[in-house]
Amino acid sequence: MIQTVYDATRYKDLRIDWQARRVTRSGRTVALTPREFALLQALYDHRGHIMSRSDLLSTAWGYPCSGVTRTVDVHIQRLRRKLGLEQEIQTVYRVGYKLH
């Protein structure tokens, strides 16, 4: 997993504390699972670039993709909903996802 070297980041109405692994939205804590946080970190570290499902599995989960899996899709859906980033986390059809 890529390690982020900064303490906290503001993105839209989110404040992401990388060291504490905590996210707040409009001042309220958003409960993310460790996997959701790792997925957010991977997308943020590569923002503006498309990440394939296998890249995300490798980066956020730490293991290679073994065939077709919906795991990433389900976690992306949860992350979008929890963080209110339905428009910002974009699906690139048949390729993967990117944070815009």
Residue 22's SS3 state is: strand
What residues does each domain of the chain span? 33-99
pLDDT tens-place values along the chain, 100 residues long: 444 455 788 988 899 999 999 999 998 999 999 999 999 999 999 999 999 988 998 888 887 766 667 888 999 999 999 999 999 999 999 889 999 8
Which is nearest to 75 in space by CA: 28, 19, 29, 37?
37
The answer to whether the beta carbons of residues 92 and 98 sit under 8 Å apart is yes
* Token code pair at residue 7: 């303490």
Considering the domain 33-99, what is its CATH architecture?
Orthogonal Bundle (1.10)
